Each structure stands twice: as C-alpha cells, then as structure tokens.
Amino acid sequence: MKAGSNLEKVLEKGLFAVTGELGPPEGNDVSVVKRKADLLRGYVDAVNVTDNQTAIVRMSSLAASALVVQMGLEPIMHMVTRDRNRIAIQSDIFGATALGIKNMLCMSGVHHTFGNQVDAKNVHDLDSIQLIDCVRTLRDQGTLLGGDEKIEGKVDLLIGAVMNPFADPFEFQAVRLAKKIRAGADFIQTYPIYDMERFKEWMKMVRDRGLDKKVYILVTLCPLGSEEMIHCMEKDFPRTAVPDEIVNRIVKSENSAIEGVKLCVDQIREIREIEGIHGIHLINMGWTEITRQIIEMGGLFPRPKI
C-alpha cells in the first residue's frame, strides 16, 4: 500500500473503481460542498475535487478536499502547476496530507487566459510530469524535490495523472503515459471519452507497451442531458470531440435527459469490455444529481466496503 486510501484498496483488489467529481464553489459557501458531497456519498470510491477548474477562481481544492474528508468522503485533490511554484506545491502537499487527504491528481491546468483572471501572471515552475516526480520523491524518498533534505513526517499519497487520448501528436500519447508512469503515476484519469473508436486505438497503443499493467486506468465519462450541455462540454473541454452521431442521439431524442443517461450507461458497458480498464471517473458539469442514477443503472452500486 502506498497511501492506504480507499481508492487504492479498491484498485488493488482488482475491483472496477468509480470516482465522481465535486467542483468547489465560486466563493466560500460550504453548503455547496455539502450538497454535492451528500449526493455522492456511498456512490463513489473517491471524489475528485477540482483545482480552480477551467481557470475560474473557486474555493481551493485543498480546503474543499479537507471539508470533503470531514463530510465522510474520500477526496482526490487536484493540483495544477499553473498557480503554484515548487515551494507552494510542496507546502500544500504537507498541509493536505496532514488534513487526511490520500489521493492527488497532478496536471498543468487549463491556461489562465481561458478563465476569469486573464491578467494573472502564470507560474508553470514545474510541468505535470515534474509534479508527479515531486510527489513521488516526497513519498518514496522522504525528501524535498532536488535535495537530500529529509521531511518531517510521511507523505502517503496515491498519485494520479491525466491523459487526453485525443491530443496530438496521437502516436506520442502512449509515450507520454509511459513518462507519467516512470515519473510515479499510480493511476490515470482520461479526458471525457465520446469517440470510442479513437479511444480504443489509444488503448491498443497503451496495451502494446504493457502500460495497462503498470498503472490503473480510469476512463472519464460525462452524461450529456441537453443540447446546452453539449455546448458546455465543447466550451469547457475544447479538446474533447463529441461525434455527430452522439450529438444527434441526444438532440433528436424526445427526452434528451433520459437519452443522455442511457447513452452514458451504454458507454459504461462498452468501456467494461475493453481490456486494461480499471474503472470509470464520472463527471457531471454541475448535473451532480444524475450521478447516483447512472451508477445504479450501470450496475456499479453498491460500492465495495473495504
């Protein structure tokens, strides 16, 4: 056990993991965190707590993750390198683990010019791979990045990374995953997947390199319940293409919300048949209420108690 988190235990037992998403409020309203936590409790093995996602200023992922721990769920704290240098990163990791956070997701973060503080000075002292390496160094060597200085205490974190199978150059994306694994990633979560064919091609490259045996792969799914949500997806995740076939299925349906749920459940079935997948990460773009229903319909409820 690297971190002893619930997520790690589920994955280590070879069970199909389910993670959810909790976007902190655009302010300090704790009731927002509570409402979302209440909707997800018992339905997910761990919940991602985003870090100023899409570069919109929100309650910090560290604080929201600590609240999530108090509320009886297990957080996966996101950390982006956009806003912190290596001093702040390591300091926040000490603080987070002291507050009971056991999983962390490492990424560079959406560029700040997409958000609501476009005049900010960005940081990018480390990139996502260097951040993964930094966390691994803290955990496994017990030293700070780039030094022999021993830290006081232990950083027990399960290290997560993100992969976008739709980014270019396509043939590099398996190499990039291999680098993230070598740097120390224990699990990855993908970008939202709609184009299953391209995703399957990517998974084949991943399996050909034996990477699915070295890292747990969680596929991100996001139900689309209306035409508006499709536009939001295209805006928030410009890197994720929603194929026309899916757009038509949702938009032309008599009840887009029901169709969106059905589609997501179909995707879960399809994903489970792909070799090398260890779980799903169900995000919701604010439609948190629907998560339980999808998890139930997808045959993923109840969640294992370990």
Residue ranges binding another protein (CB under 8 A): 81-82, 86, 108, 110-111, 113-114, 122, 124-130, 133-134, 145-146, 162-164, 166-169, 172, 175-176, 178-179, 182-183, 191, 238-239
β-strand partners of 162: 189
CB 164 → another protein: shortest distance, Å? 3
In whole angstroms, give the CA distance from residue 277 to residue 202.
12
Q: At residue 162, what is the residue type?
A: V
**Complex with another protein: residue 87 or 258, whichever CB lies closer:** 87
Tokens 């690297």 correspond to 2
**Complex with another protein: residue 96 or 188, whichever CB lies closer:** 188
**Complex with another protein: residue 12 or 127, whichever CB lies closer:** 127
Q: Alpha carbon 50 to chain centroid distance?
A: 8
CB 219 → another protein: shortest distance, Å? 15
Q: Which of 298, 162, 285, 296 is nearest to 235 (CA)?
A: 285
Q: At residue 286, what is the residue type?
A: G
CB 206 → another protein: shortest distance, Å? 15
CB 201 → another protein: shortest distance, Å? 17
CB 145 → another protein: shortest distance, Å? 6
CB 245 → another protein: shortest distance, Å? 21
**Complex with another protein: residue 136 or 292, whichever CB lies closer:** 136
**Complex with another protein: residue 175 or 258, whichever CB lies closer:** 175
In whole angstroms, give the CA distance from residue 94 to residue 195.
39
**Complex with another protein: residue 166 or 199, whichever CB lies closer:** 166
**Complex with another protein: residue 54 or 293, whichever CB lies closer:** 54
Structure letter (DSSP) for residue 137: I
Counting beta carbons within 10 angstroms of the beta carbon of residue 209, is it exposed (0 to 12), middle (13 to 18) or buried (19 or more)?
middle
Tokens 């997806």 correspond to 233
CB 195 → another protein: shortest distance, Å? 13
**Complex with another protein: residue 129 or 230, whichever CB lies closer:** 129
Structure token digits, residue 24: 């902190």
Counting beta carbons within 10 angstroms of the beta carbon of residue 7, is it exposed (0 to 12), middle (13 to 18) or buried (19 or more)?
buried
Helix (H, G, I), strand (E, B) or coil at 36: helix
Helix-then-strand count for the chain, H and E: 11, 8
148's CB contacts (< 8 A; 6+ apart) are none
CB 252 → another protein: shortest distance, Å? 28
